[in-house]
A and B are shown apart, each in its own frame.
Chain A
Amino acid sequence: NAGVTQTPKFRVLKTGQSMTLLCAQDMNHEYMYWYRQDPGMGLRLIHYSVGEGTTAKGEVPDGYNVSRLKKQNFLLGLESAAPSQTSVYFCASSYSRRDQSTDTQYFGPGTRLTVL
């Protein structure tokens, strides 16, 4: 099992450009999450999904869109990148219908995004 994977690992964008970050999990998890992590601010939830075809806003959703067309994939889009979106982005997944004992989240390796 690969767990949670993210592509790309690094990316540099110019202001106004767009891009999509891909997250994939092979643990048959129902829930998936996108976070951003900035120095001194911890992990902040951008958007999340409680199942295929559903998405919801988190704490800092502005400037981002998401889609969950397949259970194993969760995409994060930046339509018009801004320097304030320079951050490390983590994807996570949780909850299997087989194991409902915890809601432990498992994280991908992260994407380091710089917007110039």
Chain B
Amino acid sequence: GQNIDQPTEMTATEGAIVQINCTYQTSGFNGLFWYQQHAGEAPTFLSYNVLDGLEEKGRFSSFLSRSKGYSYLLLKELQMKDSASYLCALSLTDSWGKLQFGAGTQVVVTP
């Protein structure tokens, strides 16, 4: 099976930077996704890492290290609207298309 671990909650101040870590144990995967989910809403796609390294999209960046079983999502210049749950998910190689999700990290942005 696949174990995906994320911190349950993180708090940061508006304008600051927060790094959400995701560690996993798996025999193989196609890539790693990050989704954002506001309370009461659907998850929305943020980023997808296939190769090791950093992918940058505006204020959000995602990093993957396959050898270390580790990914992180970096949120810069935090805004109040970034208060949400952030979900890490693996695209499994044994069944293309299926995702295995972590429990999510609730980020609370304070003024």
Residues on A facing B (Cβ under 8 Å) = 4, 31, 33, 40-45, 48, 50, 58, 90, 94-95, 102-110
The B35-85 residues at the A interface (CB cut-off 8 A) are: 40-45, 48
Q: How far is the CA of A48 from the CA of B41 in the complex (A)?
A: 21
A41 proximity list for chain B (CB < 8 A) = 103
- CB within 8 Å: A-B pair count: 51
Which B residues from 1 to 22 make CB contacts under 8 A with A? 8
Q: Which residues in B have their C-beta under 8 angstroms from that of A48? A: 97-98
Mark each residue of chain B from 68 to 111: 1 if its CB lies under 8 Å from any CB of chain A, else 0: 00000000000000000001010100001111011110000000
Question: Given contacts A42-B87, A103-B96, are A90 and B48 in contact (CB under 8 A)?
Answer: no
Q: Is the CB of B43 within 8 A of A90?
A: yes
Given contacts A40-B103, A43-B87, contact A103 B42 (CB under 8 A): no
Taking A43-B89, A95-B97, A105-B33 as given, write out 14 further A-B residue pairs in contact, using a Cβ cutoff of 8 Å, ordered by the A residue number: A42-B102, A42-B103, A43-B43, A43-B87, A45-B98, A45-B99, A50-B97, A90-B43, A103-B99, A105-B45, A105-B99, A106-B45, A107-B43, A108-B42
Q: List 30 A-B contacts (CB under 8 A).
A: A4-B42, A31-B97, A40-B8, A40-B103, A41-B103, A42-B101, A42-B103, A43-B43, A43-B87, A43-B99, A44-B101, A45-B98, A48-B98, A50-B97, A90-B42, A90-B43, A95-B97, A102-B31, A102-B48, A103-B31, A103-B91, A103-B96, A103-B97, A103-B99, A104-B45, A106-B45, A107-B42, A107-B44, A110-B41, A110-B42
Complex interface: chain A residues within 8 A of B31 (CB): 102-103
Residues of B in contact with A, size category: 20 to 34
Most chain A beta-carbon neighbours within 10 Å: one of B40, B98, B103: B98
